[in-house]
Amino acid sequence: MGIVNARILARRDTTANWNAHRDFIPLRGEIIVYEDYGSTEDGYGNRINVPGIKIGDGRAYLIDLPFAGDEVSHQILAELRAHTEDAGIHVTAAEKDGWNNKLNCTIRDGNLTLNRD
């Protein structure tokens, strides 16, 4: 099955201009680009603009549509928080100290001597 009459509609503008048109409803599949959505830095200290992208559904106002990737970003963030807040899988500082204090060692003139307390 081939693509018949495929046409991609895309519009681009600044965040301020998009927000000024609160009653705009993009067509289903229409790509809306926020040119100044964000920025990042490359490995050489240069700032690079990162566009924000929304995809119209033909029903919702542009202002109410999520940016592409938001659902994934929120899911990843939620999973990361759940992982880092899980005290049962992380080693505490007290546990590390307990392990590290079980065996003492002394190094003199390049010779390693292990001491048991």
Q: How far lies 115's CA from each of 6, 75, 82, 103, in Å?
A: 76, 49, 40, 6
Taking only the tens place, the pLDDT of each residue in 49-74 is: 888 899 899 999 999 988 887 766 66
Choice among 12-16, 20-24, 79-83 with the minimum mean pLDDT? 79-83
**pTM recorded for the entire structure:** 0.53
